[in-house]
Amino acid sequence: EDKVVQSPLSLVVHEGDTVTLNCSYEVTNFRSLLWYKQEKKAPTFLFMLTSSGIEKKSGRLSSILDKKELFSILNITATQTGDSAVYLCAHHHSLGAGKSTFGDGTTLTVKP
Amino acid sequence: DAGVIQSPRHEVTEMGQEVTLRCKPISGHNSLFWYRQTMMRGLELLIYFNNNVPIDDSGMPEDRFSAKMPNASFSTLKIQPSEPRDSAVYFCASSVRESAGELFFGEGSRLTVL
């Protein structure tokens, strides 16, 4: 059974801090790894990673994948209170099994 | 462009009642997914459709749950009879195609079964 494990489960930081969220996976038929941000409502897409070593960046957020060590990290620099959310990592299967397996998420709280 | 539209946003019902959740995917998206989110189990895939055809329903908890997609713009998830343990947020999501990966989620239907 595919497994996606995120750490830490929760994190409290102050504005301006830099955080690193971790996602490790044990899956068959890897296709891609995705990061989502979930505030009070629905998860919204952040990044999709398919290749090792290529950093994806969007503003203060960046993410990278290591397919050899089977993990990904999501970095947030200069955190703001608006970054407070649950960050979800998901593995998207290949071979026509078009479903995603989600980790339990990391709850990030950014204090002013 | 409208995103994924779900209804109702909130539903409170009593044990034993039938519950029907509705979803309109993004126009042009060929894959539709029903997920359930609880504190204990996180986000779990219940069922997904590709081109209106159910592909994988292995996540459907039991026979009380059923899902249909009669056309490309509408899907329902039905629970009959409902039980308190079905209380959760039910998300519908769509993607351009099965292989795309990126999911676009609706705002969810929060179900409370008393």
Instruction: List pLDDT tens digits, range A5-21.
Output: 999 999 999 999 999 99
Residue A82 φ/ψ, nearest 5 degrees: -70, -10
pLDDT, tens only, A27-83: 877 889 999 999 988 999 999 999 888 899 999 999 999 989 899 999 999 999 999
- The verdict on A88 touching B (C-beta cutoff 8 Å) is yes
Alpha carbon distance B47, B94 (integer Å)? 12
Query: CA triplet B18, B22, B28: central angle to 5 degrees?
Result: 155
A34 interfacial to chain B (CB closer than 8 Å): yes
Chain B: give the shortest CA distance to residue A45, in Å: 7
Buried (b) or exposed (e) across A62-75, using 16+ Cβ within 10 A? bbbbeeeeebbbbe
